[in-house]
Amino acid sequence: MGYGLNLRLDIPVGSVSLAEPFIPAYSSQTIGEIKSDIQDINGIPYNEQILLYSKYILDDSRTLESYGIQDGNKVQLIVRRPGKLPVIFHVNTKEITLHLQLTDSVYKIKQLLAAKGYTVSSLMLGSTRIDDNATVEKAKLVPFSSVYFLHLFSFFHDK
């Protein structure tokens, strides 16, 4: 019996190369089963895979059908470094991706951004300011969270 659909794996430029970007699948398969297939076909370890569809991280226990994924749909494959979580930081029109551990503090993140030439006064997730003492885990950052950072500028003028 043939497969019901073909998933196209979409990967970020400069990430990994895939032996086979198309994965044959059934709509009743779980995301975990798809990850196992990706491991078998492309050699990417199961626990290093993050699958995204319409900017949502796919849960291993749910099926393709439960997400409305159909034949030919693109599913983004992100390969994460073991123990590290990719988080995207935005300032103006630039994006900076840092690979963080769950125990990293906001203070440490600010230091990492400062090392890249950015002075950060506050980090924002949505409309909520993230406390400097919070960790990545306590701030509830997930892979590819979009965090915005704000600069404080001082303006001096002669009188």
12 pLDDT tier (thresholds 50, 70, 90): low
Q: What residue type is assigned to position 124 of the chain?
A: M
Structure confidence at residue 1 (pLDDT): 45
Q: Has residue 32 got a pLDDT over 60?
A: yes
pLDDT in tens, 57-114: 889 999 999 999 988 888 888 887 666 777 888 877 888 888 888 889 999 999 998 8
Judge residue 138's burial from the number of C-beta atoms within 10 Å of its C-beta, 0-12 exposed, 13-18 middle, 19 or more buried.
middle
- The pTM assigned to this predicted structure is 0.54
- CB under 8 Å to 111, separation ≥6 — which residues? none
All domains of the chain, ordered by start, with CATH? 5-79 (3.10.20.90), 85-150 (3.10.20.90)
CA–CA separation, 141 and 125 (whole Å): 8
